[in-house]
Amino acid sequence: MGWFTRSSRDDAATEKKADVWAKCPSCSAHVHKEEWTSSSRVCPKCGYHDRLTCDERLQLLLDDTSFQELFAEVSFSDPLKFVDGKGSYADKAEATRKETGLSEAVKTGRGKLAGIEIVIAVMDFRFVGGSLSGGTGEKILRAAELALKKRLPYIIVSASGGARMQEGIISLMQMAKTCAGISWLDRDQVPYISILTNPTFGGVSASYAMVGDVNIAEPGALIGFAGRRVIEQTIKQKLPKDFQTAEYLLEHGFIDMIVERGDMKETIGRILKYWNRR
């Protein structure tokens, strides 16, 4: 009897111990969850930047209690009544909405960064892979219109696998729609900063994510249009090992800088203060 009691106790202790550790998705190092959280999910061993939720990102970037969410009423639509082997798109999106508390793959609003009022849109990969849909595009456009009207700097944090194919041409037209909104900011000299996180692909990288006045990426972020395997199969060649990484894009002039997650707020604050002095 004592053996069974001891075994049960040992199992409980092991389970409790496992709850206090996080495993790095890149190097598999075990990091204490307190350290993992305090470092904003950046591995202290290899520097890997794990994904953040939109709320975690807003907490990291904005001044305390300054965020005011806007356009939360905009949600997904299902114009094609899309169904595949795993069920309906509407059911999947609704389940994700309940799980995450998000109305779409982006959260939009206004707040303060280093004391400077801004408009911000933060994508969340948990919502159908952060895909660009009619609802996501509408929220990004409305936020751009607000930034234009109030002449406030606009910041978009991208994390996406691309356009949401379940919405067909509606999702694809968001590329032009969102870029039109960004072009209005450019016309009226309202600053737009694009932050690219891992991953930023497809229709998002081919539209608003790459047209910032300043394009900033996190270290090691994968950024591109099609995936490595698709490209290699198309061109029948092996690609460089670091292809589509933030470091590769910086070297080839596609982005302006790479900034560690912990330094992102300070860096953006300096950029915005420079703009304010102009």
pLDDT (tens digit, 9 = 90+) per residue, 120-153? 999 999 999 999 999 999 999 999 999 999 999 9
- In angstroms, rounded to a whole number, what is the distance separating the alpha carbons of residues 226 and 115? 38
The residue-averaged pLDDT of 161-171 equals 96
Query: Do residues 37 and 68 both lie within one domain?
Result: no
- The b-or-e profile of 14-53 (16+ CB within 10 A means b, else e) is eeeeeeeebebeeeeeebeeeebeeebbbbeeeebbbbbb
- Segments forming the whole domain that contains residue 192: 51-277
User: Of the residues 13, 29, 50, which one is the last residue of a structural domain?
Assistant: 50
Query: Do residues 24 and 144 both lie within one domain?
Result: no
Query: Do residues 150 and 249 both lie within one domain?
Result: yes
pLDDT digits (tens, 9 = 90+) for 215-239: 999 999 999 999 999 999 999 999 9
Query: Do residues 45 and 91 both lie within one domain?
Result: no
Cβ within 8 Å of residue 96, ≥6 positions away: 102, 126, 127, 128
Give, for 30, the enclosing helix (H) or strand (E): strand 30-32
Residue 87: its pLDDT value, please? 94
Query: Do residues 193 and 63 both lie within one domain?
Result: yes
Contact between 31 and 21 under an 8 Å Cβ cutoff? The reply is yes
Query: Do residues 261 and 199 both lie within one domain?
Result: yes
pLDDT digits (tens, 9 = 90+) for 175-189: 999 999 999 999 999
Contact between 155 and 121 under an 8 Å Cβ cutoff? The reply is yes
Contact between 106 and 140 under an 8 Å Cβ cutoff? The reply is yes
Going by C-alpha positions, the residue among 186, 196, 126, 104 that lies closest to residue 153 is 186
Q: How far is CA 104 from the centre of its chain?
A: 13
Statement: residue 211 has pLDDT above 70: yes
- In angstroms, rounded to a whole number, what is the distance separating the alpha carbons of residues 239 and 16? 44
Residue 15: its pLDDT value, please? 47
Count of domains forming the chain: 2
Query: Do residues 71 and 38 both lie within one domain?
Result: no
Q: How far is CA 259 from the centre of its chain?
A: 15
Contact between 178 and 207 under an 8 Å Cβ cutoff? The reply is yes
Domain of residue 171, CATH code? 3.90.226.10
- How much is the mean pLDDT over the chain? 94
Query: Do residues 25 and 163 both lie within one domain?
Result: no
Q: How far is CA 252 from the centre of its chain?
A: 22
Going by C-alpha positions, the residue among 107, 180, 115, 113 that lies closest to residue 139 is 107
pLDDT digits (tens, 9 = 90+) for 234-251: 999 999 999 999 999 999
Statement: residue 16 has pLDDT above 90: no
Query: Do residues 100 and 26 both lie within one domain?
Result: no
Supply 179's token pair: 């870029």
User: Of the residues 17, 35, 50, which one is the last residue of a structural domain?
Assistant: 50
Residue 64: its pLDDT value, please? 96
- In angstroms, rounded to a whole number, what is the distance separating the alpha carbons of residues 228 and 241? 10
Q: Is 87 exposed, middle or buried (0-12, 13-18, 19+ CB in 10 A)?
A: exposed
User: Of the residues 35, 50, 65, which one is the last residue of a structural domain?
Assistant: 50
Contact between 24 and 48 under an 8 Å Cβ cutoff? The reply is yes
Query: Do residues 130 and 24 both lie within one domain?
Result: no
- In angstroms, rounded to a whole number, what is the distance separating the alpha carbons of residues 122 and 57? 7
Residue 235: its pLDDT value, please? 95
Residue 11: its pLDDT value, please? 54
- In angstroms, rounded to a whole number, what is the distance separating the alpha carbons of residues 99 and 149? 34
Cβ within 8 Å of residue 33, ≥6 positions away: 19, 20, 21, 22
pLDDT digits (tens, 9 = 90+) for 49-98: 999 999 999 999 999 999 999 999 999 999 999 999 989 999 999 999 99
Query: Do residues 42 and 64 both lie within one domain?
Result: no
Q: In angstroms, what CA-CA distances link 93 with 61, 84, 86, 217?
A: 27, 13, 12, 28
The residue-averaged pLDDT of 257-266 equals 98
Query: Do residues 123 and 149 both lie within one domain?
Result: yes
Give, for 98, the enclosing helix (H) or strand (E): helix 89-100
